[in-house]
Structure 1
């Protein structure tokens, strides 16, 4: 029992001796550390070798990506470590203090600045988070902030597109002889990442490269758009509306609603085109969106359908007194015989030449029959052309 009490007392004494320092001890430590400290001088006692700086990026969230303005914003954290021997001390001298917190404005920190900011260039860090310093002079700096950079979007296959956006930084004032920046991990840490409802991260990369004596730090994100929303709310309604325009040829000519229906559907396609143009960048590089070409095809085909509707209405309004060319009458009657399967005996006779055929008395066919045959041809042709456009678009976007 006495041994048990002795062990408890020993543990309490050890614990007390380790954590018994107070604010006075820490204040004395600060006074001694910064009495002759010059934050303008780079850390590292050996000036013949560059200072080793280790970095790691932790992505927290993708805030926004505005393709029209090329604005890409993410929330993230840089964890940066280095050693500054001037900030080392003997823990026994200061009542076993092994670490402390220091505002970044009081010590030397790596001067790392953005290369591709959306507006103004800015450096890493703020005094919202302090630098953790231990008794060996090892500094652990966490820079938590929102990064706004330029990312030129490639919307060729929008909304099935993939984007590659980078956060790019450089140590302007410190060349490779002064600073050696490295990433222990080649990928971005996604431990605390909140999934985006619009973008899926397919791959990430952390790396450094040297150009003109300066070290550049790059954080790359490979993004893929989640296209389900756009497919259900944009592409499918747009395609259904466009295909619906072909059914104008099913409406009776006597109804008087064909031209109004066709023009209304055409204007709807134009509205969809306007919506797409507002979402996409105005630049033509690297490529214009295939979806824009699809909508443009819908509008052009819709205009042709409207012209065909007007032409069909004019044909339907012709009276029997209006002369019908012989060739048109033959085509109309031949199509009627093929559809009905009752070819006349005169059509099965061989003719010696086209001149003899044209001299024969053409069969009877009204302008109303011509309008119906024309509507059937336009209906099938427009459906076929709409289907071809959709197949080409999804074939290119796949």
Structure 2
């Protein structure tokens, strides 16, 4: 019986507390909010152009926590990264506090347009095209103790150093650095919230890059012109390309083109199919190379390994096409050369009677024998050189692959 009574008392207590809370919430009216705004902006003469200085003096402490939402574009030519993010900024403004006023004790938070209150002049130091930087004028949350919380969507275009040496397995270390544009550390101090733990909490996965948060650092920099410090907060993150698509569009065609150029050595030296296969290989590799050149542009930051391999392979295939032409057109060159030499020799070493006798009897037979013998020797000679070219070509491809 005692336990039942105790349970009833606990239930009644929670009902009373719940009712009181609802009563407090229901007592907040539009007039209360108007009176609070009147108190802040008229009675207190709040000025949004005046930096909020703590009563104890000193600088204004601003905390920032940046969340990356989406990577819109990564331009390797201009070395720029366009992102969507949510900077979460909070600071204390004593000109906006009402916790010492009994008539406003029921108001726990006041939502105000951010353009009506003071905001820190934070900028992205590595940002470019600031005129196109979009920062939405969202409401700020103001609490009774004067703390202001402002979260706004932002579109930011920042510089990012590009390293394409291992493309398409490239990784890029990018960063976004925030700091005050006009205030030094004696006027405004900047710190990072949560050590960047919420950097990727709301990130929308990118189809081309995997994003990995590295760290967030606070740096205080001194310039030669001035003695005051300039604090900044930098968020570092790594972009790693997903190479799956490039395997199908570049790697596979390039490998098949190289295999086709190797397969021509299985065909006869004077086969027309050798020209066709090698020409197709050359066109495929050249097309891939032109496409990659248009994609990367002119860069002095290093040639990607894949581009170097394809370009050198294209050169080898082109030289191979030159050899195929030579081998095809000169396969009977030794025959014509020996025939001319034989005729010259006979004219200088035989008499007229011998010449007539040779012409009538043995000369045609000897020419047939020489022609057949020389043709065989010519084919063997060209075949040996062809095999030598094959060995050199394979070695060059392997060396290009390793290097």
After TM superposition, the score normalised by the length of structure 2 is: 0.80
Out of 3, 6, 16, the position equivalent to 2:23 is 16
Out of 39, 44, 49, the position equivalent to 2:53 is 44
SS state at 1:320 partner:
helix
Q: Which residue does the alignment assign to 1:25?
A: 32
Could you tell me whether the CA contact under 8 Å between 1:56 and 1:183 is conserved in 2?
yes
CA shift in 2, pair 1:241/1:11, >3 Å: closer
Out of 113, 122, 125, the position equivalent to 1:112 is 122
Q: Which residue does the alignment assign to 2:247?
A: 231
Distance 2:270 2:279 in 1: 17
For structure 1, which segment, 163-172 or 87-96, has the greater mean C-alpha deviation from structure 2 after superposition?
A: 87-96
Q: Which residue does the alignment assign to 1:310?
A: 325
Q: Is 2:363 aligned against 1:385?
A: no
Max radius of gyration: which structure? 2
Q: Which runs of 5+ in 1 are unaligned?
A: 325-362, 393-398
Instruction: Map 1:182-201; keep pairs closer than 5 Å.
Output: 182-189=191-198, 190-201=200-211
Q: Is 2:68 aligned against 1:59?
A: yes
Q: Which residue does the alignment assign to 2:377?
A: 366
CA shift in 2, pair 1:24/1:307, >3 Å: same
Deviation of the 1:309 alpha carbon = 0.7
Deviations 1:31-68 (A, max 9, x none): 11011011111112347411111111111222221212
Out of 101, 114, 119, the position equivalent to 2:111 is 101
Could you tell me whether the CA contact under 8 Å between 1:39 and 1:106 is conserved in 2?
yes
Q: Which residue does the alignment assign to 2:168?
A: 159
Deviation of the 1:253 alpha carbon = 3.5
Distance 1:6 1:210 in 2: 53
Q: Which residue does the alignment assign to 2:357?
A: none
Q: Which residue does the alignment assign to 2:257?
A: 241
SS state at 1:247 partner:
helix
Q: Please identify which structure carries the higher helix content.
A: 2
After TM superposition, the score normalised by the length of structure 1 is: 0.80
Could you tell me whether the CA contact under 8 Å between 1:62 and 1:75 is conserved in 2?
yes
Out of 216, 219, 227, the position equivalent to 2:232 is 216
Could you tell me whether the CA contact under 8 Å between 1:80 and 1:141 is conserved in 2?
yes
Distance 1:322 1:73 in 2: 69
CA shift in 2, pair 1:148/1:116, >3 Å: same
For structure 1, which segment, 373-382 or 151-160, has the greater mean C-alpha deviation from structure 2 after superposition?
A: 373-382
Could you tell me whether the CA contact under 8 Å between 1:171 and 1:216 is conserved in 2?
yes
Distance 2:128 2:313 in 1: 36
Deviation of the 1:236 alpha carbon = 2.9
Could you tell me whether the CA contact under 8 Å between 1:112 and 1:123 is conserved in 2?
no
Could you tell me whether the CA contact under 8 Å between 1:87 and 1:133 is conserved in 2?
yes
Q: Which residue does the alignment assign to 2:94?
A: 85
Q: Which residue does the alignment assign to 2:141?
A: 132
